[in-house]
Structure 1
C-alpha cells in the first residue's frame, strides 16, 4: 500500500498518486499544538549546536582551497542541484570538485566517482553531476571535514570544492556560503521541524554571504522579500532565480515528443514542475514516487500500465533529469524499449541580482587562487 500526504502544500510520501486535499486550518493548528514539544526540543538542540560553533567551543575548519557551500534551512527541494550546476558552468575554467553526502547511497565513507558507480553507490545528485560534467571530479563523503583532506591529497590540483547541501555542516568553514530558499515557502514564513520544514532556526540565515530566492515567478515581489530577509541577515547579497525548462529529450522509444504528457517523478517538491507542464502541455495523468526513489522493473511495468490506460491519443511519458539517470537502464530492456519516455532538462536562471552573484562567486575564487 502506498500514499502521498500533502502538508503545507508539499507532496510527500510513497509512490502511488493520491489526490489528497490540504488539511484544513483547524486540523493544522491542532497538529501544531501536538508537535510543539518536539519542535521546542529540536530548536533547543540546534540552537545549542550553533552556539557552540559560533563561540568557538566546537571548531570549524578552513582549508587551503576555495570551498563554496550551497544549502538551505529547510528540508525538501529548493533547487540545490540546478544551483550547483550553475556554479559549475560559471567556474568551467577552474579545476572543480563537488562534494556531497550522497544521500540514500548504499556505500559509506569517502569515494571519488568512477564509471563503475551508479546512483546506488554515490547517490542521485552526485551521479547526475558525474554524467553531465566530464571536467568535474565528483566525490561523496558523510563527513565533509574529513573528506576534504582526502580530496586535497588525491586531487592536489583542485582549485574549488563545491559542497552540495552543506549549510548545516558546521565543521567546515566555507569561503563562500550560499543559502537557498523557495519563493513559495521562504524560510521567514516557515517553522522548525516537525511543525514546519526548517532544519534550524530562521536566525541561521545570518551565516550566509548570499541568499538566493529560488523558483521565482516571472515578476517576483523583490521589495517584500528583501525587507523580510534583511531582518535575519542585513549584509548578505539577495538574488532571485527561477527554473528554466529546456526542450524535452528522448530516453526511450522512437516517437517524437508530443503535447499529451503523463508525468512520472520522484523529487521532493514536484509542484513547480507540474505547474510548468500544465501551462505548456496537456497533462493526461501523473504518478509520484517518494524523493530519491530506487526504480525497479515492477515500477516501470506499473508506469507502462497506467500510461497506456490514460493515453487515448498520441502521448508521451515525461520525467525529470534526476529520475532519468535511474530509469534509463531499465528502459533499455526489451519489454520497455518501445515506451515513449522523455526527460525535461532544467537550468537555474537569475531574474534579479544575478550579475552581483556571479561577481561574488568569481571574486571569492580569485582571493584564494591568484
Structure 2
C-alpha cells in the first residue's frame, strides 16, 4: 500500500518548516531568473528524485542506457557521491571505484563503451563531455540524480517516486525524507512510480494516478523491479557455485547484506523465493570498516549450511575492495542484478518518447536545421522550416 514505508517525526516539523523556507527561497530565485539555468547543445535527460535516496535511480539510468546506446553515443554524468577525488573525472575501464563512486563505477563496468563521468558541478561536467577536443562526440547526456541541480535545464526531467513512499504523503527533512516541497514535482516532464508490486491491480493504478495530481503536460508511468540470476562477486575464485536462477535459493539460509537507502523492497521480494533470510543492513553508500567486516564474517560463520550471501550490485562494488573478508564469505558472496520494467503495457510509449526527444534534438538534427534555414534564407522563402524542439513547449 502506498505510504507504507513512511514515518514522520512530528517533533521535528518546526525544523522542517525552516528547511522548507530555505529551499523555497532558492527555487524562487531560479523562477525569477536571478539564479540561472543553462541549456546545452545536446539532449540532456535528468533522472532524479525529491526524497533522500532509495527510488531506484541507477537501474532507471541503466534502462535509458540500454534503450539509447545502440543508436546514439551516450554519456552519463553523476556527482560521484562519496568519491575520493574532486573536479571532473572521466572514467575508463581501469578507473578504481573510490575515484568515481560506487554507482558510476557499476555503470562503467556494465557499459564499458559508454562515457561515464563525475563532477559535482554539472554545468562544468556537461561542458567537458561535449568539448570539441575530447574525441567523445556525445549525442545525449544522462544526468544521474540531478533533479535538484537546477543550474542545468534538461530537455526531459524525469522524477522518480517510490511507490511505498509517495511524496504526497511525506514531509520535508528532517521530519520526513523530502528534499523539496511536494510542489517541486511540477518541474517534471515524466513521473515514474518505482518499485511497484508486480501484481498491482488496475484500481490501485487509478488511485495513485489521481493522488499524484499531475498537470496535463506531465506523463505518469509505473515501473517494477525484475531480478536476474545471482552473480559471484569474486569471479576468479575456484569452486564457486553456479546459481542458475533465484529458484535455487530455496532451502538455503540467506544473509542479505545491504548498504542502500531502502532495502525493504528487496527483502520483501526475496521472501517469494526463500523465507530463511537474515538481514544485515548498513547506511546508503556505506564504507565498510574493519568492525563491519568482522560483523559480516562472524554473522555468516554462525549461520547453518547450506548458506550464501546476497548483496546488491552497488554494494558489491565496495565489497570487492574491502580488506579482511573471510575466504568463506568470499566463496559465498553473490550480487543480485536487477532491471526495471515499465508496467501497464506502456513500455513502448515510454521508449518512443525518449528516443523521439533525442532524435529531434541531437546534433545531427541541429545541423540539418541550420542548413535548411540557410537555404530558405537564400531563397527568400519562409516555407515550413524544420526546427529543433524540446520535449515540451510551455
TM-score range, shorter chain: 0.7 to 0.9
- 1:272 maps to 265
Give per-residue Cα distances to partners, 1:188-239, cap 9 Å, x unaligned: 111111111111111111111100000001243111111122x243321100
Contact between 1:145 and 1:172, CA under 8 Å: does it hold in 2? yes
Deviation at 1:41, TM superposition (A): 1.1
- Residue 281 of structure 1 and its aligned partner are, at CA, apart by 1.7
Relative to structure 2, which stretch is displaced further, 248-257 or 79-88? Answer: 248-257
The equivalent position to 1:195 in structure 2, one of 165, 175, 196, is 175
Partner of residue 247 from structure 1, selected from 229, 235, 238: 229
Query: Residue in 2 aligned with 1:366?
Result: 359
Matched, 1:183 2:163: yes
Tell me how large the CA RMSD over aligned residues is. Answer: 2.1
Give the secondary-structure state (helix, strand or coil) at the position aligned to 1:290. coil
Counterpart check, 1:73 vs 2:66: no
Change (3 A) 1:238 1:155: farther
TM superposition shift of 1:67: 0.4
Q: Distance in 2 between matches of 1:342 and 1:331?
A: 17
Cα distance change on mapping 1:131 and 1:279 into 2, 3 Å: same
Is 1:151 the counterpart of 2:144 in the alignment?
Answer: no
1:343 aligns with 335
Is 1:103 the counterpart of 2:81? The answer is: yes
Native 8 Å contact 1:191 1:197 kept in 2: yes
Contact 2:4 2:164 in 1 (8 A): no
Q: Tell me if 1:302 matches 2:292.
A: no
The CA deviation at 1:133 is 0.2
Check conservation: 2:107, 2:116, Cα contact below 8 A: yes
Alignment partner of 1:235 out of 208, 212, 217: 217
The answer (yes or no) to whether the contact 2:293–2:325 under 8 Å persists in 1 is: no
| SS of aligned partner of 1:357 | helix
Distance 1:8 1:36, change over 3 A: farther
Give the one of 129, 133, 152 matched to 1:172. 152
Equivalent residue for 1:283?
276
Deviates more, 1:323-332 or 1:41-50: 323-332
Matches within 5 A, 1:6-45: 9=5, 31-32=9-10, 34-45=11-22
How far residue 91 of structure 1 moved from its aligned partner, in angstroms, is 0.1
Tell me by how many angstroms 1:331 deviates. 7.9
| Structure 2 match to 1:328 | 320
Q: Which moved more, 1:327-336 or 1:291-300?
A: 327-336
Are 1:292 and 2:285 counterparts? yes
Deviations 1:16-62 (A, max 9, x none): xxxxxx8xxxxx6xx41x32221111111111111121222221000
How far is the alpha carbon of 1:334 from its aligned partner? 7.5
Q: Does 1:127 align with 2:105?
A: yes
**Residues 290-330 of structure 1, C-alpha deviation per residue, up to 9 Å, x if partnerless?**
111123455334312211212x2211111111111222344
**TM-score, scaled to structure 2:** 0.82
Distance, in Å, in 1 between the alignment partners of 2:330 and 2:124 is 46
Aligned mates of 1:142, 1:187 — CA distance in 2: 25
What secondary structure does 1:64 align onto? coil
Quick check: 1:89 aligned with 2:69? Answer: no
Change (3 A) 1:301 1:36: closer
Residue 273 of structure 1 aligns to a residue in which SS?
helix
Gaps of 5+ in 2: 244-248, 366-394
Alignment length (residue pairs): 343
